[in-house]
Structure 1
């Protein structure tokens, strides 16, 4: 049996440059992994089936599951007949803008690479991951990076300065396609991507906080007042900087001083149940 961790990501920036001819949006986004992770076990079976087991009743156990798609892609690409049982212990909230499903798929690619002795590099796994979903390539590596194109063109960046990340997800679902569909490319205010890169290269926490930006945030906030309220509460109770991750609805706050963390967490729990205080993970994943 093989074990893999599948960490969540947050967007430090998320910019949309244009609409592509293939229907996708051209994005430029800086992401970093945090210490909130699903746990994945991969067990070989003799029945040639791909079986998904999950601790969460809303996780699909068929082809809709990105971990299933990852296993299926590897089998077809390398003409394998192996069966595998994939057990997902979910800690990352579902449909939250934290790439939980994408990270599960990335962990499945890494784990099956070992279980099936394929000898693939992370770069090769990331190329495969791009066929599954926009965030999978980044999640194969973890760490901190800027993703361009549909999200598959990855350039690694220095880790953020050490800090706490407080995550709060309201009990609503958000359709990523719907949020992108309502984005007006003519009126968006682009985030300070270059300033964020400089902040990471300099290890400058204050500059990092000042450079957070997500063009999808105003769209989601216009549709879901819960996101507005969580952001306001996080700022009110002392987070240094606050932003929505991905297409939402999760809001995260950066906090430098640990003494502030319990106060913010306890205050947020009065407004939503799904609250986590975690650290940035920093370094990217390395293959054995």
Structure 2
């Protein structure tokens, strides 16, 4: 086994272009249909070899550094499955805000799976990495892949489609943080299958990206807006600055705006900076995790 001492990776944020709930399973999980997309907001993950155990550090004091962190779960599962007697030290530098619906924690876990596979020369297949990922969380399998994907089941059934491409995206994260479990807990049966995924997939597949924005949807948006009207206020502000579309991503609380040009995006960002600290100008990317360095 060729063990590297250090591995550095980037994990990218996820947005939902489409989110429909199909049904609820007996175990409480929901079957979904989603079109997921990664954007160019990224965390940095540095994994270092240690003699034993798992140690986590993070530059964001709000992020737990114990066994509740997704990266700890990823490292623990890999160490157990592959009988690793060695340990790892994992340092997380955060840019992706937590409680935003941007899959920051899930992406960090995906980075650890890819990083430890490389670091310990485990030769895991994509399927083996996905098996570990789904044990950690529903978004982790997607974060291994990134780009534009249809996600079904609880999010683990993935199909890559033609890449959606958009350069002028604004993401605003208000101070409120949303519990995904709490939001899904408020989904009622009459809300199932509200949207049809076929049209947005067809438009993206045909590289009709502007037209695709007419067929987005997020079933969780109404639930969160009722609890936190601020979400709708941000959406309205974006459309007031000529956003072609503004929508909440995932279970929130981040709001995503798609602009036709950089000028409108900048004007909107400047206006919203007067009220919100966490504002990100970004664009789509084609990856979920980027392996930068092994040494």
Q: Mark the CA change 1:23 to 1:82 in structure 2 (over 3 Å): closer, same or farther.
A: same
Listed as ranges, the gaps of 5+ residues in structure 1 are none
Q: Which one is further off, 216-225 or 184-193?
A: 184-193
Secondary structure, in 3 states, of the residue corresponding to 1:130? Answer: helix
Listed as ranges, the gaps of 5+ residues in structure 2 are 1-5
Q: Does 1:57 align with 2:36?
A: no
- Identify the match of residue 277 of structure 1 among 274, 281, 293: 281
d(CA) in 2 for partners of 1:36, 1:94: 13
Q: Which one is further off, 9-18 or 181-190?
A: 181-190
Q: Counterpart of 1:17? A: 22
Q: Deviations over 1:199-222 (max 9, x none)?
A: 111111222110110000000000
Map 1:87-102; keep pairs closer than 5 Å: 87-102=91-106
Q: CA RMSD in A?
A: 1.5
d(CA) in 1 for partners of 2:289, 2:127: 12
Q: Give the TM-score normalised by structure 1.
A: 0.96
Question: Displaced runs of 4+ in structure 1, greater than 6 A?
Answer: none
- Identify the match of residue 129 of structure 1 among 112, 129, 133: 133
More contact order relative to length (CA 8 Å, sep ≥ 6): 2
- Identify the match of residue 247 of structure 2 among 243, 246, 250: 243
Given that 1:141 and 1:286 are in contact with CA atoms closer than 8 Å, whether structure 2 keeps it comes out as no
Q: Mark the CA change 1:187 to 1:45 in structure 2 (over 3 Å): closer, same or farther.
A: closer
- Identify the match of residue 40 of structure 1 among 45, 62, 70: 45
d(CA) in 2 for partners of 1:87, 1:264: 34
Q: Mark the CA change 1:251 to 1:13 in structure 2 (over 3 Å): closer, same or farther.
A: same
d(CA) in 2 for partners of 1:43, 1:190: 46
Secondary structure, in 3 states, of the residue corresponding to 2:135? Answer: coil
Q: Counterpart of 1:119? A: 123
d(CA) in 2 for partners of 1:92, 1:99: 8
Map 1:70-81; keep pairs closer than 5 Å: 70-81=74-85
Given that 2:191 and 2:219 are in contact with CA atoms closer than 8 Å, whether structure 1 keeps it comes out as no
d(CA) in 2 for partners of 1:262, 1:87: 33
d(CA) in 2 for partners of 1:89, 1:123: 28
Q: Does 1:267 align with 2:271?
A: yes
Q: Give the TM-score normalised by structure 2.
A: 0.94
Q: Deviations over 1:107-136 (max 9, x none)?
A: 000000001110112332122100100000
d(CA) in 2 for partners of 1:263, 1:286: 31
d(CA) in 1 for partners of 2:63, 2:88: 18
